[in-house]
Structure 1
Amino acid sequence: MDMPSAQEAITSNKHAWDESAQLHKDTDNWKNLLRSVADPGFSRLDSTITALLQDVGVAGKDVVQLCCNNGRECLSLFSLGARSVVGVDQSRAFLQQAQELAEVSPHSPEFVEADIHHLPERLHGRFDVALVTIGVLGWMPDVALFMRHVASTLKPGGTLVMYETHPFLEVFDPHASNPLLPASSYFQCDPFVLQESIVYEGLSEVAGPTSYWFVHTMGSLVSGAIAAGLQIGHLQEYPHSNREELYDQYEHQPAQLPLCFTLTATKR
């Protein structure tokens, strides 16, 4: 199979995300979100990323979340005292959900529809903190280019905060008869070609538009951050899973795998 160009993959992925949005509506998770966001102290940030954001300092700061999905984490940042929050995502359908949640919330984030590779000029050099969370890096064809665009949003001295799936986890297939046997190379160059809808939070797989999932090593991520003018201040790996429930089986192993990580990096 011929691999797509980077722009073709980005366009396909945008379409797949838009198509998947409805699968996350009219679910118990969505109904719970609509009820919960009315609380001024609402948060969907787990203890790991909450502690890191508190350590970095979000109170009184201007924060951008890149690839914010339905905005639940944007709204959560207000519980940590953020002065302003902007959520950026290329999926119009998920941003419509974000706006629905914001209308119920007492807080007022701004949502911007934009591909990370084509950010509006008004977002450049504007933020104290840029947040990137679970399930973003795999959609990026070029992680070094992604890091340059992330860095472009930060003020000098601003900080990137990242909480992502560990790239080593990508070598395993959780559906395999032996899910602990490596199924692909850690150094895989071509993306995984997916033919099912993008679903999470325990939803069943269903057929959907073609999308492309890219594998990036930890070394390429760190090198990309450095090349983007970001100074690494913190990198920590964890044995807990922060992605779909299917990956919980990799926790509590006799020889434990790294399942996720946090990283902070400051713009010089």
Structure 2
Amino acid sequence: MDKLSAQHVVSSNRDAWNESAAYHRGNDTWQTLLDSVAKPEFSCLDSTLTALLRQVGVQGKNVVQLGCNNGRECLSLYSLGASHVVGVDQSAAFLQQARELASLSPHSPEFIETDIHQLPDLLYGRFDMALITIGVLNWMPDVAQAMACIANTLKAGATLVIYETHPLLEVFDPEAANPMLPSSSYFRREPFVLQQALTYQGETKNSVATSYWFVHTLGDIVNAAIAAGLRITHLREYPHSNREDLYDQYENQPAQLPMCYTLTAVKESV
């Protein structure tokens, strides 16, 4: 994808997320967050990510989360002992929600509005840990460029932690007549083009700006990390889902698919 097209994709994805933000308020999930974030021990992180972060060590760390959405995971990092957390997202509407949640919390994360492909210099070489969670990498038209920018936020010896959906799941359509039958190639290069509001639960909502969801193979992601000067220290695949409820049907199958993965990588000394 050429630079102009990539810029269009990033801009259109930003518009889609901004227009989708309203669908994430006024429901039980939002109310639960409002009621919960005031607790110092608040965490929405699942057991898989919590265990990995404890293993890597968050205590006293300066952490950046790339693609922080409404900031709930940024706030959760404090329960594991993070000293300071910066959340980065390109959606102003979701960062407004993040600041609202943070205002109810005893913690004080910093939120920065920017595209991951164009991170400002003030973020470079600053962090002990960078975190990427579900539904971030697939919005990146150029995963190698994004990974290089992410790696630049880390100090030498610092760690990138990824907990993402497994790219093999993109082969299947959970709403197809036969959701167990592969419906697209694992090596698909063109993005899925969407026009519905983007929601965590995957429900169909009103139309918003066009968004583009890219399939990056596990090899794409690992090689992007290596090219960015990161040394892979951990890669594990799991049979459970960490994405929309529609995908729960792929759990506990006789021929089980990998549904998500964790990866850690350390920035090599320059």
- How far apart, CA to CA, are the structure 1 residues paired with 2:16 and 2:205? 13
Structure 1 partner of 2:199: 199
Structure 1 partner of 2:68: 68
In the superposition, the TM-score normalised over structure 2's length comes to: 0.97
Q: Please state how far the C-alpha of 1:231 moved relative to its aligned partner.
A: 0.1
Structure 1: which 5+ runs fail to align? none
Matches within 5 A, 1:130-209: 130-201=130-201, 203-209=203-209
SS in 2 for 1:246: helix
Structure 2 partner of 1:245: 245
What letter matches 2:129 in structure 1? V
* In the alignment, structure 1 residue 43 sits paired with structure 2 residue 43: yes
- How far apart, CA to CA, are the structure 2 residues paired with 1:202 and 1:160? 28
Structure 2 partner of 1:262: 262
- How far apart, CA to CA, are the structure 2 residues paired with 1:53 and 1:204? 33
Structure 1 partner of 2:211: 211
What letter matches 1:155 in structure 2? K
Contact kept, 8 Å, 2:65 with 2:86, in 1: the verdict is: yes
| 1:136-160 CA-partner distances (Å, limit 9, x unpaired) | 0110001111110110100000100
* In the alignment, structure 1 residue 234 sits paired with structure 2 residue 234: yes
Structure 1 partner of 2:106: 106
Q: Percent same amino acid at aligned positions?
A: 68
Q: Please state how far the C-alpha of 1:202 moved relative to its aligned partner.
A: 5.5
Structure 1 partner of 2:52: 52
In the superposition, the TM-score normalised over structure 1's length comes to: 0.97
Q: Please state how far the C-alpha of 1:201 moved relative to its aligned partner.
A: 2.9
Contact kept, 8 Å, 2:197 with 2:204, in 1: the verdict is: no
- How far apart, CA to CA, are the structure 2 residues paired with 1:203 and 1:173? 14
What letter matches 1:102 in structure 2? A
* In the alignment, structure 1 residue 225 sits paired with structure 2 residue 225: yes
Q: Please state how far the C-alpha of 1:79 moved relative to its aligned partner.
A: 0.1
What letter matches 2:145 in structure 1? L
What letter matches 2:222 in structure 1? V
SS in 2 for 1:32: helix
- How far apart, CA to CA, are the structure 2 residues paired with 1:236 and 1:242? 14
What letter matches 1:111 in structure 2? F
Q: Please state how far the C-alpha of 1:208 moved relative to its aligned partner.
A: 2.1
SS in 1 for 2:264: strand
- How far apart, CA to CA, are the structure 1 residues paired with 2:77 and 2:216? 27
- How far apart, CA to CA, are the structure 2 residues paired with 1:77 and 1:257? 29
SS in 2 for 1:78: helix
Structure 1 partner of 2:95: 95
- How far apart, CA to CA, are the structure 2 residues paired with 1:202 and 1:238? 21
SS in 2 for 1:5: helix
What letter matches 1:76 in structure 2? S
After TM superposition, what 4+ stretches of structure 1 lie above 4 angstroms from structure 2? Answer: none
Kindly tell me the number of residue pairs found equivalent between the two proteins: 265
